[in-house]
Chain A
Amino acid sequence: MIKEMGYIYPSGTEALKCINLNIFKGELLGIMGKNGAGKTTLIRTLNGLIRPTSGNIFIENENINKKTIATMSQKIGIVFQNPFHQLFSNSIEDEIKFSLKSLNLSKEEIQIRINKTLHEFNLEKYRKRSPLNLSGGESKKLAIASIICRDPEVLIFDEPTLGQDEKEMEFFINIINREKKKGKTIIIITHNTEFSYNHLPRTILMTDGEIIADGPTKKLFENETLISRTYLIIPQIRRFCLAMQKLGLQNADKLTSNDSVVKYLKNYMQNKLLT
């Protein structure tokens, strides 16, 4: 729970203004907003990388304002935008090992977790390869793997879909679903409206350091004025449905998924052919 939190950078820029936010355990939450809205600053406060200049953050009723980053990073894992900001080891295996060392695990446990993570992320064949020679998509995968192997309760992703091809995106969505099933709380910062519309049940919209909307993602995208304030675009499926509505196809604006559109059009065509 974030209560009346604010953050002012040493340069004097007010990055966050009186943020009030409840995030529930096991929830999948999206954070969207234009560049410079304060999204990354908000997530950096969650594991103590920066301390709020006002207000408090509570995790399971415990105020975390005085907790160290090392303590918080055991509970909260953040995958940052640029994977090359964290890759440095001689091999992919070592990269995962580095993330596990600080958890005070036995050698056997570390090896078990490395093998499990490499297997889950299809990185086994690259085990001995230098992480610096990986492609953009693979390095992003490794950055995610090096956080997930720590098994934190909360996973935060900053622009995970950026620069990912369709296959990599699908892989990422599978990871998200798998971690959600394990009961993890997942927070995703994204500009990708297609992704958020189809996969994130709840989204908060931010502008100029403030939360301007919080609610079910599909409901938020019904409000065009609100979306335009955040410099986002309405997802393709929603635009298509609105266009159908304008053409006189009744209730088309209520459709929210590809399947429902296909079903609707199928019924419509059948009715048309019958008449």
Chain B
Amino acid sequence: MSLEFLNAFKFMKKDSFFHNLDPRSKLIFAIIYTISALLFKQIVPLLIIFISLIPLILFGKLFKQWVKSIRGLSFLIIFIVLLNTLFLSLSFAIAMIIRILIMVSAFSLFFLTVDPNDLALSLISMKVPYEFAFSFSLAFRFVPTIAKEAQNILDAQQSRGYEMQKKGLISQIKNLFPLLIPLIVCSIRRAFNVAEALESRAFGSRKERSFYYSIKYSLKDWIFTIYLLFILVLFIVVRINFNIMPEFLTWSFPV
């Protein structure tokens, strides 16, 4: 088993339309797509939202990484299909999968294209206190580190006979302890080390501080934000008036 898919959430410097946007507009993008996905529970409208994401993935030159992040969800997808088909319906199961795909894709695009340093700057410009903004960007930066650590833990446990696949739900949950406990312990240890390292460099000693880089909300960010707000309003209108919308929007599987 490989945890390589977690790399699909790691920032990669590229030159594309999506990469060059301000982090704030990308954050608005992720939030609006998540809200839009939560508005519907029918296959067709969710599919439309999902399809509207694809050009952004292609323009962002992120197709390969996006496929990896989706592939990593295969276990969850099977679980959702089985559970929902068993207790509800196949249509609902598929709708829920598309909903998750939208949310994961939106945040995957955000993480892949936002430099952690820019993220802290954008949060500060949104009047978030520096300590919180820095902590958030630090947590964000540690995602690939934790992914690598999780892989190392898995390797270490497998080297002494640990097997990931075991039958039965309880066995599978119990089977996660050898991975989760070292991961949590190592993360806490690292958090303490980072905190000490920061304090030894006088972190937070002065209220005012200088910034080497600055970010700017440019015209293309405004255009992109207006486009996002437009589609959010459109989806809300469709949701409110769903009963009078064309019938194909409510299409579902006969079973």
Contact = CB atoms under 8 A, between A and B. Distances in A.
A101 B182 contact: no
Contacts of B161: 70, 73-74, 99, 101-103, 150
B152 A49 contact: no
Contact of A150 (B155, B160, B180, B189): B160
Interface residues of B, number: 22
Given A78-B159, A80-B159, A88 B181 contact: yes
B178 interface: yes
Nearest to A88: B181
A86 interface: yes
A79 to B, nearest CB: 8
The A interface is mostly helix, strand or loop, or mixed, namely mixed
B186 A147 contact: no
Interface in B147-190: 149, 152-153, 155-163, 177-178, 180-182, 185-186, 189
B88 to A, nearest CB: 36
B20 interface: no
Q: Which of B152, B159, B185 has the most chain A CB atoms inside 10 A of its CB?
A: B159
B159 to A, nearest CB: 4
A44 B163 contact: no
Contacts of A77: 159-160
Contact of A84 (B155, B177, B180, B186): B186
Interface string A138-181: 00000000110010000000000000000000000000000000
Nearest to A101: B161
A88 B178 contact: yes
Contacts of B182: 84-88
B158 A73 contact: yes
A96 to B, nearest CB: 10
A103 B163 CA distance: 12
A11 interface: yes
B162 A80 contact: no
Interface in B188-234: 189
Contacts of B177: 88
B165 to A, nearest CB: 10
Contacts of B155: 44, 49, 78, 80
A73 B157 CA distance: 10
A54 interface: no
A84 B189 contact: yes
Q: Which of A44, A49, A146 has the most chain B CB atoms inside 10 A of its CB?
A: A49
A248 interface: no
Nearest to B165: A70
Contacts of A84: 182, 185-186, 189
B69 to A, nearest CB: 13
26 contacts: A44-B155, A47-B158, A47-B159, A49-B155, A49-B158, A49-B159, A77-B160, A80-B156, A82-B152, A82-B156, A84-B185, A84-B186, A85-B186, A86-B153, A86-B156, A86-B160, A86-B178, A87-B182, A87-B185, A88-B180, A98-B162, A102-B161, A102-B162, A103-B161, A147-B159, A150-B160
